[in-house]
Structure 1
Amino acid sequence: MVTIKDVAREAGVSVATISRVLNDNGYVGSDTRKKVMEAIAKLNYSPNEVARSLYKRESRLIGLLLPDITNPFFPQLARGVEDELSRSGFRLLLGNSDENVQKELDYIQTFVQNNVVGIISATNHVDYKIYDALKLPLVLLDRTSEDYPAVYSDGREGGRLAARTLIEKGAKRITLVKGPAHVKPAQDRFQGAIEELSQADIDFSVLSSTSYSFEEAQGWAEELFEKFSDTDGVIASNDIVGIAIIHEALKLGKKIPEDLQIIGYDDIPQSSLCYPTLSTIRQPAYEMGRQAAQLLIKMVKKEQGIEHTIQMPVELVERNTTRKE
């Protein structure tokens, strides 16, 4: 591995001079700077960000915690975060907690040990007070709290929009798949849908689920049709569950959307690739990630007048699991 000493030797300057060039700190003549940059390029030297942060007692590292990297929604959030951080000269450390509190604590410790200057968290354990001891800027992403700045979408409106759409398209026996109780956005969607369904002259039922995982989605779909075989409209807890319901309905010989209409939630890429393509409520995941990164950078820079919460709109994306007008 090429070290800073190797670069100094190649450029014929001191290690301190190399550090001044890398950190843009202190005067370095233009000829000397050119020699240093040429040596860096020749040796393909990549400065150690952690070592640099310790040297300057600051860093350009940001920690991002996700609850489940296998859910396609969260990589979209992460890409938005990463692109915005990169554009602003920051680097990303990523942690996947698998909804496990201990893993989340371990990643937080890793972030602190690597001298991050801020954290973005999309996990579900903020109410456990595990972030209270941190003296670091924290932004919640796709989560909300009265204690921390947050970027999230309007889940309640998303639930209302899904319910309203099925009602307007003639569904009479709607099943609402309620997302995990410990995930606040899932409960916001549920409450919004209940508000709309309660005001309509239709029958509706609720199926509670405990996760969004691929592994369990098929089980929720099978349970739905075992309990509510005559349902003609489903509001899925997310797109993963919605796609599983499509598969199970087709296995049972149901015609979509003639016999059964389905609306998912998130608009993950797979929603437009399954058959039939899934109508869904779109969250602007990439833009949410960008906004969270922008907000955290402002906090790191201690800018004034920073928004505490940013709520982003949702929209209906109509595909082939709902009837055309």
Structure 2
Amino acid sequence: MEPKYKLIYQTLKNDILTQKITIGSKLPSENQLAQDYKVSRITSKRALTELENDGLVTRKAGIGTIVKKNNIEKITKSEIIFVIPFANNNEFGDYTSGLLQILDDTSDFQLTTINNNIFRNLPLSRIKAAKGIIYYVESLSLELPIITNLYLNDIPIVLLDKSFEDLPIPSVTSDNFTGGYLATNELIKNGHHNITFLTNEVNLNEASVRSRYFGYLSALKKQQITPEILHADLDQDKTIEYLVNNINNKKITGLVAENDVIAIRIMNELRNHNIQIPQQLSIIGFDNIQASKLSYPALSTIDQNFVALGENAANLLLNLINNSDKSITKRTTIPVKLIERQSINTLGDK
């Protein structure tokens, strides 16, 4: 497991190198970083010390840690860019530890994390300065132009979480189909037959969500159960009203949510409408994010191995970089597993 200080160190370093934190800015204190990342003060101090050793900051008693350098050119000759939409990807999934476990085995590469929106606005010359790109696709339709441009310019790239079916770019994804099947089958095993798939994808455009839905369909078909899909706009009262009415009428007893974020939010919304979970509605999510353990009740979910996803993406990219044949199109699927917690009830239980 990657030391905890490295996530803080790498996040701050990336923010400095990409000028998100500018020269002269003051970094959060050791105590503040310890609180933000839920680590000890010793761990946060180690991260700031590493930044000082890199010559990026100066530390003065009574003043704090001040950024003194963000010289990108010094780093980019061996840079790998990790494009990801989450502000702190460790809260959603710890891809970074997996990437660093592979990249730290060689001194040739430096990982820079950049938000998708910022990356889309980078000039091509800046992107070409990097050795390669690991790209977490936020939206296939939105990001098709930039990914196509990378492909046409022969920039080594590996897609993470999603893939383009007909574009020859290597990718690393979780086994979303099996995950959808396992989630649905767990509800069926517990006596549920009125099971709805909840998604905010109106047309199931995203391949990962579509695969989860197909896994849901497969499990229901095996038991000859009629499927139902609910496109949830949780900001619309009618969505919640629809669910409440159907739960009260027992037309829905089980819910397979597209991901944990939606599952947790719907649990909170339904609690405000006096729907008891899991007594009236059993629900299962997908991702096994940190918040799923802390929700009330604790959320049953499908675990993605984020570290393995990161490791495989890094290995694929290094193969691309070191191989004169840039036509490598390997697609790697990482297994998932069911995590049983308290959000599923067996029908007939009190």
TM-score normalised by structure 2 residue count: 0.67
Q: Equivalent residue of 2:153, what SS?
A: coil
CA distance, structure 1, for counterparts of residue 144 and residue 106 of structure 2? 30
**1:63 corresponding residue in structure 2:** 81
**2:332 corresponding residue in structure 1:** 310
Counterparts of 1:122-161 in structure 2, within 5 Å, are 122-123=136-137, 124-125=139-140, 127-128=144-145, 129-145=148-164, 146=166, 147-161=168-182
**1:4 corresponding residue in structure 2:** none
**1:177 corresponding residue in structure 2:** 198
Give the count of matched residue pairs. 270
Of 170, 184, 191, the match for 2:214? 191
8 Å Cα contact 2:92-2:289 kept in structure 1: no
**1:76 corresponding residue in structure 2:** 94
Counterparts of 1:207-246 in structure 2, within 5 Å, are 207-209=230-232, 222=240, 225-226=243-244, 228-229=246-247, 230=250, 231-246=252-267
Q: How much does 1:170 deviate?
A: 0.8
Counterparts of 1:248-263 in structure 2, within 5 Å, are 248-263=269-284
Q: Please identify, of 297-306 and 191-200, the stretch whose mean Cα deviation from structure 2 is larger.
A: 297-306
**1:279 corresponding residue in structure 2:** 300
Deviations 1:78-102 (A, max 9, x none): 342244323433212222225xxxx
**1:106 corresponding residue in structure 2:** 121
Q: How much does 1:186 deviate?
A: 0.8
**1:29 corresponding residue in structure 2:** none
**1:268 corresponding residue in structure 2:** 289
Q: Percent identity?
A: 27
Name segments (4+ residues, structure 1) moved above 4 Å.
Answer: 47-50, 70-75, 216-221, 303-307
Asked if 1:296 is matched to 2:317, the reply is: yes
**1:320 corresponding residue in structure 2:** 342
CA distance, structure 1, for counterparts of residue 81 and residue 245 of structure 2? 43
Gap runs ≥5 in structure 1? 1-40, 211-215
Tell me: CA distance 1:108–1:168, structure 2 relative to 1, closer, same or farther (3 Å).
farther
CA distance, structure 2, for counterparts of residue 157 and residue 73 of structure 1? 24
Tell me: CA distance 1:70–1:248, structure 2 relative to 1, closer, same or farther (3 Å).
farther
CA distance, structure 2, for counterparts of residue 217 and residue 278 of structure 1? 22
**2:37 corresponding residue in structure 1:** none
CA distance, structure 2, for counterparts of residue 109 and residue 243 of structure 1? 39
Tell me: CA distance 1:154–1:68, structure 2 relative to 1, closer, same or farther (3 Å).
same
8 Å Cα contact 1:178-1:190 kept in structure 2: no
CA distance, structure 1, for counterparts of residue 280 and residue 181 of structure 2? 22
Gap runs ≥5 in structure 2? 1-49, 57-69
Q: How much does 1:179 deviate?
A: 4.7
**2:9 corresponding residue in structure 1:** none
When the two chains are superposed, the root-mean-square deviation of aligned CA atoms in Å is: 3.3
8 Å Cα contact 1:63-1:120 kept in structure 2: yes
**1:30 corresponding residue in structure 2:** none
8 Å Cα contact 1:62-1:117 kept in structure 2: yes
Tell me: CA distance 1:271–1:191, structure 2 relative to 1, closer, same or farther (3 Å).
same
TM-score normalised by structure 1 residue count: 0.72
Q: How much does 1:223 deviate?
A: 5.5
- The one-letter code sitting in structure 1 at the alignment partner of 2:214 is Q
CA distance, structure 2, for counterparts of residue 208 and residue 262 of structure 1? 16
Deviations 1:198-253 (A, max 9, x none): 3324454211247xxxxx57979726515633311000010011111221232222
Of 86, 94, 98, the match for 2:104? 86
Tell me: CA distance 1:51–1:250, structure 2 relative to 1, closer, same or farther (3 Å).
closer
- The one-letter code sitting in structure 2 at the alignment partner of 1:112 is I
- The one-letter code sitting in structure 1 at the alignment partner of 2:103 is L
CA distance, structure 2, for counterparts of residue 277 and residue 108 of structure 1? 44
Q: Please identify, of 169-178 and 200-209, the stretch whose mean Cα deviation from structure 2 is larger.
A: 200-209
Q: How much does 1:135 deviate?
A: 2.2
**1:19 corresponding residue in structure 2:** none
8 Å Cα contact 1:141-1:292 kept in structure 2: yes
CA distance, structure 1, for counterparts of residue 112 and residue 228 of structure 2? 42
- The one-letter code sitting in structure 2 at the alignment partner of 1:109 is L
Of 87, 99, 117, the match for 2:131? 117
8 Å Cα contact 2:286-2:303 kept in structure 1: yes
- The one-letter code sitting in structure 1 at the alignment partner of 2:341 is R
8 Å Cα contact 1:93-1:111 kept in structure 2: no
Q: How much does 1:280 deviate?
A: 0.2
